[in-house]
Chain A
Amino acid sequence: MSLRRKKGAEVEETLKRIQSQKGVQGIIIVNSEGIPVKSTLDNQSTVQYSALIHQLVMKARSTLRDIDPQNDLTFLRVRSKKNEIMIAPDKDYFLIVIQNPSA
């Protein structure tokens, strides 16, 4: 398999693994511009979550940098009554997992 296809397959496998965890409602991968590149949710939800969370990640990053310019975001967890959104930022992308917290 070419490197690109191998990596693509790895990503798919990882997504499947996360998706199979109890309580996981959706997974979205968003690029550095806030554009969703992969999602297990419908289009509308994907676009909505991506935009809102991109904004939130930017805000979390600037909050941390205002406190300490040397510091950076490694993980973000937003819990609400109905679910929990976990955001793992990376260099070029961020991974969003929406789950049911009680599961």
Chain B
Amino acid sequence: MTILYFSLHHFIIEGHKGVIGTIIVNSEGLPIRTTLDNSTTSLYARLLRSFTTLARSAVRDVDPQNDLTFVRIRSKKQEILVAPENNFLLIVIQNPSE
């Protein structure tokens, strides 16, 4: 069910202007859907999974009842959005100006 939800999100998001790529990473950290090349996908998946884990533990350290729902990393050249869901990750990379 989650995979279906994510796949829908994935295809809908990809249609938006300014989206450079989308990646879905499963609970084991393996990319299961991507619109980017293999090496870029692996790099983003690995780095963002690591970042998300840190962000989630920071949130939980402040309040164990709380949980991470979204991360937005904005940089000069692009913006990376990460939506964690049931140990999966939906990653969207887009132009920062959108």
Which of the four size classes fits the interface of chain B? 20 to 34
User: B44 — which chain A residues lie within 8 A by C-beta?
Assistant: 67
- B64-92 CB contacts (< 8 Å) to partner A: 65-78
Number of A-B contacts (CB under 8 A): 78
The docked-state distance in angstroms from the alpha carbon of A45 to that of B63 is: 11
Size bracket, chain A contacts: 20 to 34
Taking the complex as formed, is B13 at the interface, i.e. its CB lies under 8 A from any CB of chain A? no
| Other-chain residue from B48, B62, B69 in contact with A79 (beta carbon distance below 8 A) | B69
B66, A78: Cβ atoms closer than 8 Å: no
Q: Is the CB of B63 within 8 A of A82?
A: yes
Interface-lining segment among B3-11, B25-33, B53-61: B53-61
Query: B83 CB to closest chain A CB, in angstroms?
Result: 9
A79 pairs with B61, CB closer than 8 A: no
Which residue of the partner chain B has the closest CB to A75? B74
In contact, A76 and B47 (Cβ under 8 angstroms): no
Given contacts A63-B48, A67-B44, A80-B67, contact A74 B74 (CB under 8 A): yes
Is residue B1 contacting chain A, with contact meaning CB distance below 8 A?
A: no
With contacts A72-B76, A73-B74, A78-B58 taken as known, whether A60 is within 8 angstroms of B51 at the C-beta atoms is yes
